[in-house]
Amino acid sequence: MTASEIRALFSVASRPEVVSLAGGSPYVSALPMDAVAETLADLVARRGAVALQYATAQGDELLREQVCEVMAPEGIDGHPDDVVMTTGSQQALDLVTRIFVDPGDVVLAEAPSYVGALQVFRSYQADVVHVPMDDKGLEPVALEEAIQHLRAQGRQLAFLYTIPSFHNPAGTSQPESRREEVLEVCRRHDVLVIEDDPYGLLGFDGDPYRALRADDPEGVIYLGSFSKTFAPGLRVGWALAPHAVREKLVLASEATQLCPSSFSQLAVSSYLSTQDWRGQVDVYRDLYRQRRDATLEALTATMPEGTTWTHPLGGFYVWVTLPEGFDTRVMLPRAVTARVAFVPGSAFFADGSGARSMRLSYCLPEPARIREGVRRLAGVIEEELSMRELFGPAPSHGAAHDGDAPAPDLA
Amino acid sequence: MTASEIRALFSVASRPEVVSLAGGSPYVSALPMDAVAETLADLVARRGAVALQYATAQGDELLREQVCEVMAPEGIDGHPDDVVMTTGSQQALDLVTRIFVDPGDVVLAEAPSYVGALQVFRSYQADVVHVPMDDKGLEPVALEEAIQHLRAQGRQLAFLYTIPSFHNPAGTSQPESRREEVLEVCRRHDVLVIEDDPYGLLGFDGDPYRALRADDPEGVIYLGSFSKTFAPGLRVGWALAPHAVREKLVLASEATQLCPSSFSQLAVSSYLSTQDWRGQVDVYRDLYRQRRDATLEALTATMPEGTTWTHPLGGFYVWVTLPEGFDTRVMLPRAVTARVAFVPGSAFFADGSGARSMRLSYCLPEPARIREGVRRLAGVIEEELSMRELFGPAPSHGAAHDGDAPAPDLA
């Protein structure tokens, strides 16, 4: 499939009759729209001349203070001076990569990793080396081996990119002991860590995990976002970075866009000040927990033997792996015809692996739709199995990779 | 002066007692804030689930249609499919540069040129070659010579970056015959043109100029913005590009930020649909015309002999050149002490020239403040002249350049 074929496919997948388990769009309909409308109108009426004007490249000072409060539950003791507001955390990742990556440098990332990050790394001609995960996330021993191997080859290592909590797409989380091990390996080998944490507050049970950044302010650049805890349409994210990096981020941001939207920043700031944002996070957590449950129950009820999946404790995604011989890219057009969409696993690897896997997102559809979607998906898989009994396995796309495909998170 | 010294200086310059003729912030207080507030509240109440959600990387379809209407008065017959919405036109310039510039490539730009553009070109390690201007803007003969010279040297020429209408910082505009000559030179030598046009609708008399893009859809990438015709705080700009480039822009934008803010885009779209945006542009034009007049009258009344300045027919800026021996960078701290700020001319050159010049912005302060600011500036210049009569000229900073200084447009 070419980029334009995938684009065409996802365009079909966005039709209302298709259950899309593909995109990563949060369920913003759960927001109190009237209160948000009032907050924004009030912002323009009271502070329009500021909200509609240029701002500083680093971002609004009050919002940077509020961001520090938002990070506190994850154990982060950040200073507003070290926060840089960005156009979504995607832009923060783009700027960090621009600063640290020269063409041919290695970026370490989980296997699988966030497709939007791979797109950034590719655009700066980084060489992504995947590090295996188990059900506790990134494997420290494998990380250690990868670093040693790369250093022995004389490769330039830019950083480790990791999503410790509620991983996209894997759905796994690093327990705290695992986090300590990962940090220890990186510290020992002097490897910078980029911690991407858009879902950190969206755990389904108990307190949030302790962020990597909480235990290593100098070795970790932390990326945060309001896209999942509030709303992505405003494009407000941030980086919390050691002082010297923060300076570079501000200059790079200024060259890129002059400044992030003052309106969006003040909108988020007003929302945090005037609305019960913590209560809203709880609303989201309940909602996504129910959808996670619906997904797992439906998978248990319908998937053929030999299929495995992860059991996310938060976030938006389940990672499903089919029995030997499947190629989810080949299966996707058939699935869309059966009115269900997912993202093929190979999208989440820089090297085209992941053919047997797929990412299912449970964030946007209602539970009943999720159950129906998984049922349809099981039907497609069963059909595929019957075909294989009759005709043998379909030819795989092998090491094909997504090239310039559109970011499936927007599908 | 180092970047941090300049930053400190502009921080002082932002105090209310200082008349800032430095920044490029539009006078957004002229907007009908109540109507804007109502428009945004209505947007969230009616279409919150779309406005607060992710969108496509290319941008909202209706807004792209409206953008084509906005460009029509400049003779542009654009198709919505060829428009890419961006986070301000600064981002469009960043993406275009990312696509077309490899380190060491040459970018041709007017002498002087927009400081934010120079910052982008520097960040991609382009080599900026300035082409002289006269009172009709870019000189075609000099452009021809520069191209021939560079080609003879075997240099890779990425594009010509030009601001044909109401130039920032020069305040000049290319008459239509000049535009034809510039296009003819570029076509003959197969040089891509980046036309930056944020001020095109803000002419003080008669109809807008015909855009370069109007006469060469394949050879020109046009950059537009709502920052000056509506409000910069929403960060909504666009590129109109030939089809093959448009595809690349969308992919680069997606890697950079996933998508531009849907909220900002729909806010602009609603504003264009429900408010008298053309009437608002006329309000801005009248307002800036009065401020331009106040600036020119004050310059005529107070500047010492040997000082020259441009006579802008639109836009935000007057370019003032002092007699031989002045260095406006050296003068700036003294000016700020005298409670007036400007941007030194050297900020607008990649090669540190422009020492005798400065940019005065008349967009933000009221006319009475402008007159007071120019009077203070004249005092500083007179003092400088007296000092030179007593002690001889101050040592110049020569080829010093602004390096990583903050974008003065935000000052």
pLDDT of residue B408: 57
Nearest Cα neighbor of B295 from B285, B281, B310 is B310
Alpha carbon distances (Å) from A76 to A69, B49, B127: 9, 32, 42
Report the pLDDT averaged over residues A189-198: 98
Q: Given an 8 Å threshold on Cβ–Cβ distance, is B44 in contact with A40?
A: yes
Nearest Cα neighbor of B162 from B198, B214, B190, B135 is B198
Interface check for B260 against chain A (CB to CB < 8 A): the answer is yes
Nearest Cα neighbor of A43 from A277, A268, A278, A276 is A268
Mutate to test the interface with A, among B14, B40, B58 (most CBs of A within 10 A): B40
* Neighboring chain A residues of B42 at a CB cutoff of 8 Å: 37
Q: Are strands B106-111 and B127-134 parallel, antiparallel or unpaired?
A: parallel
Q: Which helix (H) or strand (E) holds A288?
A: helix A277-302
Reading the block at residue B252, the tokens are: 């680069």
Alpha carbon distances (Å) from A34 to A271, B43, B234, B269: 12, 11, 21, 20
- Which of the 8 DSSP states describes residue A197? -
Nearest Cα neighbor of B326 from B351, B354, B347 is B354
Q: Given an 8 Å threshold on Cβ–Cβ distance, is A91 in contact with B256?
A: yes
Q: What's the whole-number average pLDDT of chain B?
A: 93
Residue with structure tokens 């370069």? B212
H helix intervals, A189-221: none
pLDDT of residue A218: 97
Q: Which helix (H) or strand (E) holds B106?
A: strand B106-111
Q: Given an 8 Å threshold on Cβ–Cβ distance, is B40 in contact with A42?
A: no
Side chain identity, residue B106: V
Nearest Cα neighbor of A168 from A91, A114, A226 is A114
Chain center to CA of A345: 14
pLDDT of residue A51: 97
Q: Is the pLDDT of residue A404 over 80?
A: no
> Looking at chain B, which residue has its C-alpha nearest residue A56?
B410
What is the Cα–Cα distance from B343 to A268, expressed in whole angstroms?
33
Q: Given an 8 Å threshold on Cβ–Cβ distance, is B255 in contact with A120?
A: yes
What is the Cα–Cα distance from B222 to B241, expressed in whole angstroms?
7
pLDDT of residue B399: 45
CB neighbourhood size of B283 (10 A): 15
Q: Compute the 3-state secondary structure of chain A and give helix, strand, coil in percent, each to the nearest 5.
A: 50, 15, 35
Q: Is the pLDDT of residue B4 over 70?
A: no
Q: What's the whole-number average pLDDT of chain A?
A: 93
Report the pLDDT averaged over residues A8-34: 90
Confidence of residue B402 (pLDDT cuts 50, 70, 90): very low
What is the Cα–Cα distance from B78 to B69, expressed in whole angstroms?
9
In percent, how much of chain B has pLDDT > 70?
A: 94
> Looking at chain B, which residue has its C-alpha nearest residue A60?
B233
Interface check for B2 against chain A (CB to CB < 8 A): the answer is no
Q: Where are the beta strands (DSSP E) in B216-300?
A: 220-225, 236-240
The residue ranges of every structural domain in chain A are 5-30+279-391, 47-274
Q: Given an 8 Å threshold on Cβ–Cβ distance, is B233 in contact with A261?
A: yes
Read off the pLDDT of residues A90-146 as tens digits, 9 standing for 90 and up. 999 999 999 999 999 999 999 999 999 999 999 999 999 999 999 999 999 999 999
Side chain identity, residue A234: L
Residue A34, helix vs strand vs coil: helix
| Residue/partner pairs of A129-132 with CB below 8 Å, 24 or more apart | A130/A349, A130/A350, A130/A351, A130/A353, A131/A160
Q: Given an 8 Å threshold on Cβ–Cβ distance, is A255 in contact with B119?
A: yes
> Looking at chain A, which residue has its C-alpha nearest residue B252?
A123
- A306 to chain B, closest Cα gap in Å: 35
- Which of the 8 DSSP states describes residue A190? T
Q: Given an 8 Å threshold on Cβ–Cβ distance, is B256 in contact with A55?
A: no
Confidence of residue A403 (pLDDT cuts 50, 70, 90): very low
Read off the pLDDT of residues B220-275 as tens digits, 9 standing for 90 and up. 999 999 999 999 999 999 999 999 999 999 999 999 999 999 999 999 999 999 99
Q: Given an 8 Å threshold on Cβ–Cβ distance, is A231 in contact with B52?
A: yes
What is the Cα–Cα distance from B149 to B156, expressed in whole angstroms?
12
- Which of the 8 DSSP states describes residue B275? S
pLDDT of residue A397: 53
Interface check for A30 against chain B (CB to CB < 8 A): the answer is no
What is the Cα–Cα distance from A292 to A317, expressed in whole angstroms?
8
Residue B159, helix vs strand vs coil: strand
pLDDT of residue A6: 67
| Helices B262-274 + B33-51 axis angle, to 10 | 130
In percent, how much of chain B has pLDDT > 90?
A: 88
ipTM confidence: 0.93
Q: Half-sphere exposure of residue B187, counting CA atoms within 13 Å on the CB side?
A: 13
Q: Given an 8 Å threshold on Cβ–Cβ distance, is A123 in contact with B252?
A: yes
pLDDT of residue A21: 95
| Helix and strand totals (H; E) in chain B | 13, 14
Read off the pLDDT of residues B91-136 as tens digits, 9 standing for 90 and up. 999 999 999 999 999 999 999 999 999 999 999 999 999 999 999 9
- A399 to chain B, closest Cα gap in Å: 22
CA pseudo-torsion sign B165, B170, B176, B179: negative
* Neighboring chain B residues of A410 at a CB cutoff of 8 Å: 54-57, 254, 258-259
- A115 to chain B, closest Cα gap in Å: 10
* Neighboring chain B residues of A28 at a CB cutoff of 8 Å: 48-49, 52-53
Interface check for B410 against chain A (CB to CB < 8 A): the answer is yes
Read off the pLDDT of residues A236-249 as tens digits, 9 standing for 90 and up. 999 999 999 999 99
Alpha carbon distances (Å) from A252 to A92, A150, A221: 10, 29, 16
Q: What is the dihedral of CA A44, A50, A54, A56, to 10 degrees?
A: -130
- A63 to chain B, closest Cα gap in Å: 15
pLDDT of residue A273: 97
CA-angle at A243, arms to A242 and A249, nearest 5°: 90
What is the Cα–Cα distance from A226 to A277, expressed in whole angstroms?
11
pLDDT of residue B401: 46
Q: Is the pLDDT of residue B179 over 80?
A: yes
Q: Given an 8 Å threshold on Cβ–Cβ distance, is B54 in contact with A232?
A: yes
In percent, how much of chain A has pLDDT > 90?
A: 88
- B377 to chain A, closest Cα gap in Å: 25
Say which of B231, B264, B407 has its CB closest to residue A258. B407
Alpha carbon distances (Å) from B350 to A302, A394, B97, B130, B400: 64, 58, 16, 8, 10
Say which of A232, A255, A257 has its CB closest to residue B235. A257
CATH of domain A47-274: 3.40.640.10
What is the Cα–Cα distance from B220 to B214, expressed in whole angstroms?
9
- A264 to chain B, closest Cα gap in Å: 7
Interface check for B30 against chain A (CB to CB < 8 A): the answer is no
Say which of A45, A91, A119 has its CB closest to residue B34. A45
* Neighboring chain B residues of A54 at a CB cutoff of 8 Å: 23-25, 227, 232-233, 409-410
CATH topology of domain A5-30+279-391: Aspartate Aminotransferase, domain 1 (3.90.1150)
Q: Given an 8 Å threshold on Cβ–Cβ distance, is B409 in contact with A33?
A: no
Confidence of residue A399 (pLDDT cuts 50, 70, 90): very low
* Neighboring chain B residues of A256 at a CB cutoff of 8 Å: 90-91, 94, 120, 123, 256
